[in-house]
Amino acid sequence: MEAPAENFFTPVVPLDFVYNYRVGPYIERYLRGFKDKKILGSKCPGCGKVVVPARMYCGPCNRRMEELVEVSQEGSLENYTIGHVILEKGAIKPAKGPYMLGLINLDGTDSLLLGRVEGVSVAAAKPGLRVKAVWKEELDGDFKDLDHFEPV
Ligand SMILES: [Zn+2]
C-alpha cells in the first residue's frame, strides 16, 4: 500500500563534515614553505620541468621528483573565471560579490597554479597579465597563507 504524499517531507541536512585530510609529504613541505613566504615546486630529474604545487611524480615522464625548488612569486595570468557563489559547510551560498579565480603560470615553472586574483577588472583580465603573490599577514603554513595574486 502506497503512503499518501502528505506523509512525506524533504529534510534539509547541511553537510558539515569535520575530518582530517592528510595532504602527503610533498604538500606538507609545500605548505611549510608558506610560513617563510616561499612557493616550492618539484623539479623533474628527467625532463627538468618544475611543477607547482610540489608533487611526487612528473606527469609527462613519470619520474619521481625528489628536488624541491623555490619558484618565483611572479607570473602570468593564463586564464580566469568569475565566481558568484561560495561553498560553505556543504551549502552553496551567494558570494559577497563577484570574485576572480585565475590559473597562474609562475615564472620558471611548467604548470598552472589556481589562485584568487584581486585588483583586476574583467575588462583588464587577459592572458599574459603579470601578477604577483600577496601573502596574509599572519602565516600558519596553510593554503590560505597565499591569499591572492594581484597585478605587478
Ligand atoms: Zn619529467
Q: Which residues surround ligand 1, an ion (CB under 5 A)?
A: 44, 46-47, 58, 61
CA 52–ligand 1 middle distance (angstroms) = 13
Joined grid coordinates for residue 105: 603560470
**Which residues are bridge partners to 150 per DSSP?**
132
Mean of per-residue pLDDT scores for the chain? 91
Question: Maximum Cα–Cα distance for the chain, whole Å?
Answer: 69
CA 75–ligand 1 middle distance (angstroms) = 21
Contact of 74 with 106, CB cutoff 8 Å: yes
pLDDT at 101 over 80: yes
CA 42–ligand 1 middle distance (angstroms) = 10
Q: Which amino acid is at 6?
A: E
CA 50–ligand 1 middle distance (angstroms) = 8
CA 113–ligand 1 middle distance (angstroms) = 18
CB atoms within 10 A of CB 10: 4
pLDDT in tens, 46-89: 999 999 999 999 999 999 999 999 999 999 999 999 999 998 87
Joined grid coordinates for residue 68: 624541491
CA 111–ligand 1 middle distance (angstroms) = 12
Domain boundaries, given as residue ranges, for the chain: 21-151
Burial class (CB in 10 A: 0-12, 13-18, 19+), 101: middle
CA 39, CA 70: separation in Å to the nearest integer?
Answer: 6
CA 84–ligand 1 middle distance (angstroms) = 37
What's the whole-model pTM score? 0.83
Strand order in the sheet with 67-71: 50-51, 39-43, 67-71
